[in-house]
Amino acid sequence: MIQYALVTKQDELSKKIAQEIKDGLKEIANYNQEKPDLVISVGGDGTMLTSVHQYLNQDVGYIGVHTGTLGFYTDYLKDEIDELIMAIKNNQYKINHRNLLEVSVYRHGKKDTYLALNEMRIDYGFVTQVINVYIDDELLEVFRGNGLCVSTPSGSTAYNKSIGGAVIYPGTPLMQLTEVAPIQHNAYRSLGASMILDANRVIKLESNHFKCVSMGIDNLHFDFSDVEKIEIRIATKTVNFIEYRSMSFIQRIRRAFICE
């Protein structure tokens, strides 16, 4: 029997949909919050990010039900629960492997590592951030501005897109470095464009301003003190999204951004 868990946004509608799913799966799957094979996220993209971070250390598959409008990580809508139950019952699916970023923060003589499905971002608009950006230990630029975002192909349609980064067709292990409000004049200048890097590259960030670093990793926020450097690379670990019915990336983009 399939072992499944639910991660539910704490609003009334999502809780009601989660109960519907539980009732529907009673005969065919076993509810197992600790050791699931399948994690069903009920809410929106933020709930899916929470689900992924909750089960990051386990080998699970993810499927999303959207209880609001339309999400990027969610394949089913709130009125398609019967279809989802049937799909789980039929157990026919494709696995979509999504790349993660490995973000290493060096401070106080040790290294802490975080994984990101969408992106890592340093974004602080009140004091100019001055950050030395290295690619494989070679200085690319001294960035001055609000901050920097490094995103995965999955995250390219999220914050990265809002700050002018490119949308990357998923499936290839790539990461994208995008500037947030760079200062560009005759004294200070940075690349001023997104840079897309492959899995052999390492982005290193160093700064005299890293006494206090406010960092976003997906929907999580961290405040670090006395950071020596931050390294970002594509992680060897991936997360598995379960596709019971196929929806192309272009369809997903049209649904989320283009069609009314």
Shortest Å, Cβ 113 to ligand NAD: 18
Orientation of helix 81-90 relative to helix 12-25, angle to 10°: 40
Other CB atoms within a 10 A radius of the CB of residue 100 amount to 24
75 classed as catalytic: no
Shortest Å, Cβ 218 to ligand NAD: 4
Shortest Å, Cβ 142 to ligand NAD: 25
CB 21 within 8 A of CB 64: no
What is the Cβ-side half-sphere exposure of residue 232, based on CA atoms within 13 angstroms?
28
Shortest Å, Cβ 87 to ligand NAD: 22
Structure tokens at 166: 């490119």
Subset of 210-239 contacting ligand NAD (CB under 6 A): 218-219
Phi, psi (deg, nearest 5) at residue 146 = -75, -30
CA 88, CA 133: separation in Å to the nearest integer?
46
CA 41, CA 143: separation in Å to the nearest integer?
38
Determine if 46 is a binding residue for ligand NAD (CB under 6 A).
Answer: yes
Count of residues engaged in binding ligand NAD, rule: CB under 6 A: 16
Determine if 174 is a binding residue for ligand NAD (CB under 6 A).
Answer: no
Shortest Å, Cβ 187 to ligand NAD: 29
Question: Closest CB to ligand NAD among 149 and 203?
Answer: 149
Task: Give residue number: closest CB to ligand NAD.
Answer: 46
In this structure, which amino acid lies at residue 180?
V
CA 63, CA 213: separation in Å to the nearest integer?
33
Question: Closest CB to ligand NAD among 49 and 203?
Answer: 49
- Contacting ligand NAD (CB under 6 A), which of 71, 153, 170, 182? 71
CA 181, CA 159: separation in Å to the nearest integer?
13
The 132-161 contact track toward ligand NAD, x by CB under 6 A, reads ----------------------xx-xxx--
Of 237, 258, 39, nearest to 157 by C-alpha is: 258
Question: Closest CB to ligand NAD among 142 and 253?
Answer: 253
Question: Closest CB to ligand NAD among 211 and 221?
Answer: 221
Determine if 162 is a binding residue for ligand NAD (CB under 6 A).
Answer: yes
Determine if 96 is a binding residue for ligand NAD (CB under 6 A).
Answer: no
User: Across-strand partners of 205?
Assistant: 133, 230
Q: Burial-class residue 256 by CB neighbours within 10 Å (0-12, 13-18, 19+).
A: middle
Question: Closest CB to ligand NAD among 162 and 246?
Answer: 162
Determine if 72 is a binding residue for ligand NAD (CB under 6 A).
Answer: yes
In this structure, which amino acid lies at residue 107?
R
- CA–centroid distance for 98 within its chain: 9
Q: Name the active-site residue from 11, 23, 45, 226.
A: 45
Binding stretches for ligand NAD (CB under 6 A): 44-46, 49, 71-72, 118-119, 154-155, 157-159, 162, 218-219
Active site members: 45
